[in-house]
Amino acid sequence: MDAFNNFLTGTVTLFSDPIGILIFFGGVVGGMLFGAIPGVSMLTLAAILLPFTAHLSPEHGIMLFSVIYCTGVYGGAITAILFNIPGAPENAPTAFDGYPMTQNGEAGKAVGAAVMCSAIGGVASCIVMMAATAAIADWAISAFGPPEIFALVFFGLAVAASVGAKSFWKGWLSIMAGLMIAVVGLDPVGGLERYNFDMPYLAAGIHFIPTILGFFAVSEIFVQAEKKATGSYNAPKLSVDFPTFKELWQHKIAVVRSAIIGFFCGVLPGIGATLAAFMGYNEAVRWSKDREGFGKGKMEGVISSETANNAATGAAMIPLLALGLPGGALTAMMVGVFQMHDMEPGPLVFINSPDLVWVVFAAMFFANLSILLVGFLEAKTIVNLLRIPFQYLAPLILLLATVGAYAVRGLTIDVVVMFVAGVAGFFLRRSGYSVAGIVLGLILGKIGEQTFAQAMQMLHFEFSGFLGRPIALGLLIAGFITILASIYGAFFKKVPASSSAG
């Protein structure tokens, strides 16, 4: 009841302040737009706005970033569905089925499902966040040390190997290729340079944003261009038919499951919405009776990914506000906003600034609700981008991606890396490899290695130490079983070739 009263107080404070309302709606629209524009993301907007938050009150600054976070995660789904360009890594699994739906003439249904499920996942996450922040933060932080996070990363990668590629082997090789790209640069423990080939650029590692833009956006342009050159290009069919309530209701279990997965992943520092989205998608595949349908335009794929990534946004605020631990890039920027106002996020914020906490919670709740309204209006208009002929859209997307890659660090070599990744993605996709697997390996590789090193130091370099940690052990066993089952399936349980595309 206390939580409800606090929420009401936060809501009244938020909507009785004209500047607060202005900032709230600016954040909603800005997050959605930046999430939906190919080549830029909510992180671009947040980075641009960060210096200006010094002129805002702490409540307004943190509230603005939390609203951008909620709506930006949703906004990235639009480009993932319409152009196969995820606005952020957490929208990558949305593209697996969202883009095929667009190609099948169901863009409206895919966007509608994304709008609805992003809102559901986000609102559910906010409610749990408000009701149980302290207890969940205590449990997650005490139960999930480096061994558990490493085991969770291993499990996530093991499951992801069976999705997105033509065979388990190609899926596994895709993930390993991503992990190897992540190895380039400094090692996380001793700071030794690895695989830099005496090139200063490689010493700092390969940045994931140009790589993601290359593997997704650029390789997609190349694939479509090849189809155009060979006369097999089919323009995406335009539709603004949103899914019916009945269609969505059929996926209620997927929504609930993904919301739980998203919340669980979001609450863990350093894991966040990306793993949530991938795990939400993977579990949808695992529990589905129609596994072969995934990747060919199945609405459940969009629903699972979008519910999970938005469910992670509310959860990611728990370690940030309760313990001062950011869960990802945007929450790390929020720490910067706190510091600009001489504040430190952590348990004291709840005692010293309860108004701030509850205004932020209320703003996130209403930001997720506003996805329903503003998202539908935005989706109705933005789907019309598909009317633009591909020969005009292609240079625009390539140049937006160029600006996006360059703007990260101001290095033209990042643009070269992006186009090299695009060419590599083109050839890998031709051969049945999964670019999503590579990107997942790249993003989780650094977390995996770092947590493995911390875990081994913690366990005094004894692998048997995992036996005394039931959660880590359970996740490792589940991961190994997944891999062994896939190997067994690859050798002994072939499906007829006709049941699969390609």
Partner 1 sequence: MGKLTKGQIVEGAFWLILAAFFFAYSFEFNNNIEIYKYGATLWPRVILLLIALAAIGQLLDQRKNGDAASTSKIAAIHEDSAQDSQHNSLGWYINTFILLCLPFAYMIVPDIIIEKTGTPEEGTAKINIICGAVLFLAYIAISWRNHVGAILTLPLFFAAMMQDMGFYALAPVFIIGVMILMGERRPTRMAMVMLLIYGILIAFFVSLLYVGLPTGYISPFYDFGTWMVNTFQ
Site residues for partner 1, 408-467, by CB under 8 A, read: 410, 412, 415-416, 418-420, 422-423, 426, 429-432, 434, 449, 452-453, 456-457, 461
The values of phi and psi at residue 194, to 5°, are -125, 135
Q: Which is nearer to partner 1, 9 or 103 (CB)?
A: 103
CA–CA gap between residue 116 and residue 123 (Å, rounded): 11
Instruction: Candidates 85, 163, 320, 443: give the one binding partner 1 (CB under 8 A).
Output: 163
CA–CA gap between residue 258 and residue 305 (Å, rounded): 7
Instruction: Candidates 162, 239, 331, 482: give the one binding partner 1 (CB under 8 A).
Output: 162
In the complex, what is the shortest distance from the CB of residue 239 to partner 1, in angstroms, rounded to a whole number? 21
Q: Which is nearer to partner 1, 143 or 487 (CB)?
A: 487
CA–CA gap between residue 164 and residue 102 (Å, rounded): 18
Site for partner 1 in 172-201 (CB under 8 A): 172-173, 176-177, 179-180, 183, 187, 189-190, 192-195
In sequence order, the 6+-apart residues with CB closer than 8 A to the CB of 168 are 161, 162, 486, 487, 489, 490
End-to-end CA distance of the chain: 56
Using CA atoms, how far residue 63 sits from 3, 130, 149, 342, 355, in Å, is 18, 15, 29, 17, 11
Site string for partner 1, 47-86 (x = CB under 8 A): -x--------------------------------------
In the complex, what is the shortest distance from the CB of residue 419 to partner 1, in angstroms, rounded to a whole number? 5
Site for partner 1 in 90-119 (CB under 8 A): 96
> How many binding residues for partner 1 (CB under 8 A)?
90
Site for partner 1 in 128-157 (CB under 8 A): none
Site for partner 1 in 305-324 (CB under 8 A): none
Q: Which is nearer to partner 1, 329 or 453 (CB)?
A: 453
Cβ count within 10 A of residue 154: 22
Site for partner 1 in 471-490 (CB under 8 A): 486-487, 489-490
CA–CA gap between residue 365 and residue 247 (Å, rounded): 25
Site string for partner 1, 213-232 (x = CB under 8 A): -----x---xx-xxxxxx-x
Q: Which is nearer to partner 1, 313 or 486 (CB)?
A: 486
CA of residue 378 relative to chain centroid, distance: 21
CA–CA gap between residue 207 and residue 414 (Å, rounded): 8
Q: Where are the beta strands (DSSP E) in 67-214?
A: 185-186, 193-194
Question: At 462, is the secondary structure helix, strand, or coil?
Answer: coil
The values of phi and psi at residue 186, to 5°, are -85, 140
In the complex, what is the shortest distance from the CB of residue 410 to partner 1, in angstroms, rounded to a whole number? 7
In the complex, what is the shortest distance from the CB of residue 20 to partner 1, in angstroms, rounded to a whole number? 24
Q: Which is nearer to partner 1, 166 or 341 (CB)?
A: 166
In the complex, what is the shortest distance from the CB of residue 100 to partner 1, in angstroms, rounded to a whole number? 8
Site string for partner 1, 274-303 (x = CB under 8 A): -----------x-----xx-xxx-------
CB 179 within 8 A of CB 172: no
In the complex, what is the shortest distance from the CB of residue 2 to partner 1, in angstroms, rounded to a whole number? 43
Q: Which of 85, 71, 87, 78 is nearest to 107 (CA)?
A: 78
Is residue 204 a contact residue for partner 1 (CB under 8 A)?
no
Q: Which of 168, 100, 209 is nearest to 433 (CA)?
A: 168
CA–CA gap between residue 287 and residue 307 (Å, rounded): 16
Q: Which is nearer to partner 1, 223 or 369 (CB)?
A: 223
**Is residue 198 classed exposed, middle or buried when 0-12, 13-18 and 19+ CB atoms within 10 A define those classes?**
exposed
Q: Which is nearer to partner 1, 216 or 365 (CB)?
A: 216
Q: Which is nearer to partner 1, 101 or 311 (CB)?
A: 101
CA of residue 207 relative to chain centroid, distance: 16
Q: Which stretch binds partner 1 (CB under 8 A): 17-25, 69-77, 127-135, 161-169?
A: 161-169
Q: Which is nearer to partner 1, 359 or 401 (CB)?
A: 401
Q: Which is nearer to partner 1, 125 or 402 (CB)?
A: 402
In the complex, what is the shortest distance from the CB of residue 232 to partner 1, in angstroms, rounded to a whole number? 4
Q: Which is nearer to partner 1, 192 or 351 (CB)?
A: 192
Q: Which is nearer to partner 1, 64 or 163 (CB)?
A: 163
- Entry field: residues in the chain: 502
Site for partner 1 in 327-356 (CB under 8 A): none
In the complex, what is the shortest distance from the CB of residue 134 to partner 1, in angstroms, rounded to a whole number? 34
- 49-53 contacts, C-beta under 8 A, 24 or more apart: 50/333, 50/336, 50/337, 53/337, 53/340
Number of H helices, E strands in the chain: 22, 2
Site for partner 1 in 358-417 (CB under 8 A): 390-392, 394-396, 398-400, 402-403, 406-407, 410, 412, 415-416
